Amino acid sequence: MKFTLPWKVLTELSGWYTSGGLEGTMTYEYMYGASVGVSKKFMDDKLKVNLGVENFVSRFFYGNLDYSNINLDIYNKWEAPELNFKITYNFGNKHLKQKDHKSGANEELDRTGKN
């Protein structure tokens, strides 16, 4: 979901969910995560600053393998939350005209007079 706050600050909230299941002989529980970010443009939209937090709310991987005489419990945890900061500057002319590209199809239409 994207929202525009006052002063043209763009906010984005996203998330994911995976239900539990069976993968081969391993069963696993549900997992989820959510991320949020804000961005703001400056200098006639040439400079963009982004700040985000990934997986500020999350549930990690829990699984179980029970096969023959093997019983294995798995808990997998990754780095969370993760803070991201990004600055983007667009060099160049944003008012540059687009070049008119001609293709073989256009030439054929011109030749037959249907263009």
- Per-residue pLDDT tens digits for 40-49: 999 988 999 9
Q: Which residues contact 58 (CB under 8 A, 6 or more apart)?
A: 31, 32, 33, 34, 80, 81
Q: How confident is the model at residue 115 (pLDDT cuts 50, 70, 90)?
A: low
**What is the predicted pLDDT for the residue at 80?**
82
Q: What is the mean pLDDT of residues 93-110?
A: 71
Cα angle for residues 102, 104, 108 (degrees, 5° grid): 110
Distance in angstroms (rounded) separating the CA atoms of residues 101 and 113: 19
Q: How confident is the model at residue 5 (pLDDT cuts 50, 70, 90)?
A: confident
pLDDT in tens, 46-92: 999 999 999 888 888 999 999 889 899 999 888 889 999 999 999 87
**What is the predicted pLDDT for the residue at 87?**
97
- Contact by Cβ (8 Å): 50, 37: yes
pLDDT in tens, 7-40: 999 999 999 999 999 998 999 999 999 999 999 9
